[in-house]
Structures are given as C-alpha cells and as structure tokens.
Amino acid sequence: MGSILIRGGTIVTMDPARPVLEDGWLTIEGQRIAALGAGPPPARPAADTIEAAGKIVMPGLVNAHLHTRPGRAMGDGLSHIEWHHRYADGYSAGMTPDDAYAGALLAFGECLKAGTTCVLPMPVLSGAVGRAAEDIGIRATIAPHGGDDPPGAKGLDPLEDTLSLIRAQGDPKGKRVRYWLGFDNLVDCTPEYLAQVRDAFATYAVGIHTHLNETHGRIAATRQKFGDLPARVLEREGFLGPRTVVAHCIHLEPEEREILRQTGTHIVHNPVSNMRLGNGAAPIAELLDRGLNVCLGTDGMLSAYKLDHFETMRIAAMLQRVTLHDCQVLPPQRLLEMATVNGARALGLEAETGSLEVGKRADLIILNGGGLHLTPRARGGHDNLATLLVYSAHGSDVETVLVDGEIVVKDRKLTRVDEAKVRADAQAASDRILAGIPAPQPS
C-alpha cells in the first residue's frame, strides 16, 4: 500500500480532545495515519488523492457484538425461547463451513458498506468466519459461540477447535483478524468446560466474549445450575476483567453492576435486538455514569434484521430516553464515543483504531454529507454535526471505507469480493438450512 491524501472534508477525529477539522486533510502512509490538519494540505504529492469536499470523514465504527448466520428477519412474533430454538439454534446446527463462510461474507459486507470497519462476531465454525474476514478485508476479533452442554451440540463450537485457531495465530498483535475465547451462555457450559476455558484464558493473551443477563429465563436457568447470580458466577470462575466483553446486560442486580464496574469488564449494548425480541432496556445510562466502558453492537441478522450501526446509535439514544423519561441522557457525542473509541477500548485496540490520530491504523469512512436529511448544517454555537451523525445519517451515506489504509469500499461497492456472488451464496445457504427447519404453525 502506498500513500493516500484525503482533502477538503469535515474530519471528525474522535481523538481525546474531540476536535472537528473543517476543510480538513489527512495523509496515510501504508497502514497508518501519517498526518492530519485543516487548511491547505502538504505539498508533498500522494500516490492517491481522495477529494472529500462536502463529505464527512470519521473513524470507522466498531460493532462489538454480531452473529453471522446466513439468515435474516426470521420468526418475528415468536417468543424469544421459540425463536432462539427454531432459528438461532436451527441455523447454527444446520451450517456447514461453507455456509458459515457465506453468512460471514454477507454480514461483513453489509457492515463495511454501512461504515463499520471493526467487528467482534460470535459465530459457529469460527475458522470459516475468520477466512471470510480475511477475504473481505474487515478488522475482526472472532470469539466463538462455544459451549459443551448438551455434549456434542452442533450449534456450539468445541473448545479444542478454538484453541487450535488461537495457537495457530501466534502473537495476535497487529493482525487484522484474530481469535479470542468465547461461549454462548453459562447455561451452555458444564463446570468442567468452564475450568478448561479458565485455564486457556490464563495461558493465552486473548480476550473472552459471552452473553450476560439477556433474559429473565437465562438468569433463572443460570441460578438453578450454578447457584448464584450470573455475574457472580463469572467473577468466581475468573472470567471478569479488562480482557472480557459481555453482551446485553439487560437485567442486572445492583451487586452485579458493581462487580462489572470493579472488575473493569466491558459491556456491549444491543438495543435493536433487545427491543425486537422484547427482552427489555439495559440500564446503559446508569452503567456509563458508574464509569463502565459501554460500547455498541447490532447483534445478528436473524434478530436485528440489518447491520447499520448508525441506526444502532440512534435507537440506543431513543430507548434510554423513553425508558427514563429524560431527553438529556446519552447525548450524541456520547453515542459517537460508544460506537468508536469505546468499542476499540473493549477489544483492546484503543491504541490502534477508534479515532483518527497520527500513528493509528487508517480505519476510516467517508460519508456523503450533501443529502437532504443531513441539511442544513450548523457550526459554531449552534453546532449540530454530532446530532446529525447520530439521528439523521444512515449507512447508505457511506461512500468510501478504508481498513489498514486499504480501500475496501469504493463508490459504495465492496472492492475485494463480488457482491452478486455474496448474495447468491448466502441465499443458497439459507435455503438449504431452512429446508431442515420445521416452519412454525399458524396461530
């Protein structure tokens, strides 16, 4: 990769001082940001120049919880338990490695085109999903949908498969695609399995990802199986801490909130799937006020339907405001932080991505700022840029995406893969899997 100059746009840096550079420019050398500023760009020529006048340049978004099964928008109207059993588990059990690869390309392609450059997927058949991430060019930290209860369940990745991937990757530092430990839920694990995961967590320099307190039913099942609150079980087993990311956290007891704070565990809020499945509203405003690092996830295509992280920001804000009857919680700048720097921090990538700073990876997106829905702009004392990005922008505004200084989306088209083939392969995989899943009976 050579040098790139991006010039003339509004640059939303998200660096610690949060400056916005009008008529800004940014240079990339290889995989990293070399310089940025406002006004006339440096005279030194670049191999490529991207004209960004009228556009918005910002860090790529971080989607910190995602499933990549090759299915979408299934089972609306079913209870959460029936939906999960029929579709989430049904797809997981029915997938081949080729199906997992096809679903991941579809999900990652949609994420990239909507401005997400970094993801934390929780898939089945993680190796195939890792190949998809390598092929399409997204930054991915892959934590498996693991577990061992019931034994031999096809929808749960065996621990040994995960350990093989972790051993093969060696030192994950600097790699665009890397592997973590992960398991679906505590109730999907035997005590013996958790002990093995704990040993691996102590042995390898990787993180761990799981679901926590998504539904009342899961909490009750965990308490029955392990005799304690889920967060206390995770703490007792040695899993909580700054290398741990837990998804959902909708129904937390006060002592669990304090355990998560004290241990420095990261939380991923998934407002769209939480609302769609009727699971409730997580206490995100309170968790942020307590000092926890909270970031955002879309969840999977089966439950959230689409993977537009601009929509995630907007719905996260509105869900908290209507739940708390307070229009001041989660201001737009906070939402942008949750979708960028907080996500990077959760993945241990804060020094590499999440903001536009000299020396960081060139993971960035360029939006067309000229849409009617992004007009009029107001700067100065009436500044509305952050509000427009959170409440008015959507993924289809993204025109160009770079990961590691490589253009992976250009003119709204993926550069590394054939989109028509991605769609066709995902459709074929879904058709084949659905043929083995009984359809729900009309009520």
- Same-domain pairing of 146 and 253: yes
Average pLDDT value for the chain: 96
- Same-domain pairing of 363 and 340: no
Report if residue 443 sits inside a domain: no
Residues 6+ apart with CB under 8 A from 187: 149, 218, 221, 222, 225
CA 263 to centroid of chain Cα atoms: 22
The pLDDT assigned to 47 comes to: 86
Report if residue 256 sits inside a domain: yes
Report if residue 233 sits inside a domain: yes
Residues 6+ apart with CB under 8 A from 324: 285
Short-list 59, 14, 40, CA closest to 366:
59
Short-list 237, 227, 230, 226, CA closest to 216:
230
The answer to whether 347 touches 207, Cβ cutoff 8 Å, is yes
pLDDT band at 1 (very low <50, low <70, confident <90, very high): low
Please say which residue of 346, 376, 402 terminates a domain: 346
CATH classification at residue 84: 3.20.20.140
Mean local confidence (pLDDT), 15-32: 94
- Same-domain pairing of 54 and 65: no
The pLDDT assigned to 42 comes to: 83
Whether residue 3 has pLDDT greater than 80: yes
- Same-domain pairing of 112 and 224: yes
Number of domains the chain is built from: 2
Residue 36's H or E segment, with its range, is: strand 32-38
- Same-domain pairing of 44 and 97: no
Per-residue b or e along 217-238, where b marks 16 or more CB atoms closer than 10 Å to that residue's CB: ebbebbbeebeebbbbbbbebe
86, two tokens: 């029929």
Q: What are the tens digits of pLDDT across the range 196-246?
A: 999 999 999 999 999 999 999 999 999 999 999 999 999 999 999 999 999
- Same-domain pairing of 298 and 151: yes
Angle at 252 between CA 63 and CA 255, to 5 degrees: 125
The pLDDT assigned to 346 comes to: 98
Report if residue 419 sits inside a domain: no
- Same-domain pairing of 258 and 122: yes
pLDDT band at 331 (very low <50, low <70, confident <90, very high): very high
Residue 283: which domain range? 61-346
- Same-domain pairing of 252 and 139: yes
Longest CA pairwise span in the chain (Å): 69
Q: What are the tens digits of pLDDT across the range 135-194?
A: 999 999 999 999 999 887 888 999 999 999 999 999 999 999 999 999 999 999 999 999
Q: Please tell me which residue, 46 or 383, carries the higher pLDDT value.
A: 383
Mean local confidence (pLDDT), 76-87: 92
pLDDT band at 296 (very low <50, low <70, confident <90, very high): very high
- Same-domain pairing of 127 and 230: yes
Please say which residue of 298, 318, 346 terminates a domain: 346
